[in-house]
Amino acid sequence: MKKLLVRLAHQLDAIDEASLMSLWSEYATIVGRFEPTKQWEEATLIFSMIQAKRWKNQLFNYYWSLQTQGSAVAADLPEVLAPDFALEAENGTAKGAPGCRVLPFKPLL
């Protein structure tokens, strides 16, 4: 399973974000109109991959910016996370983060 996920990550990373973002509206529309079909499920996964690529690039740019600014925060990068992002500790709670709330998905149309 892990090898499959790594292969998928390599393939997704090989696609440029602009090409994926050109499909964002199409898949956001499909996902926003729920149908109990395999096509809807696949479209949802595709939409998630587009979002994942965008999020990865934003996170990368955030850390890159910290490093290039010579920020004192950059020295602690493994412990410092992007705003609104927290890793779960071993007990299942967010490390150093207050309780959080889940926001409902609202597609942009």
| pLDDT tens digits for range 52-107 | 999 888 888 888 888 877 655 555 555 555 556 665 655 655 555 556 666 677 76
pTM: 0.61
Tell me: the pLDDT tens digits for 22-60? 999 899 999 999 999 999 999 999 999 999 999 888 888
Q: Is 2 left (phi over 0), alpha (psi -120 to 50) or beta?
A: alpha
Q: What count of Cα atoms within 13 Å lies in the side-chain half-sphere of residue 49?
A: 20
Query: Domain coordinates of the chain in residue numbers?
Result: 1-109
DSSP 8-state class, residue 79: T
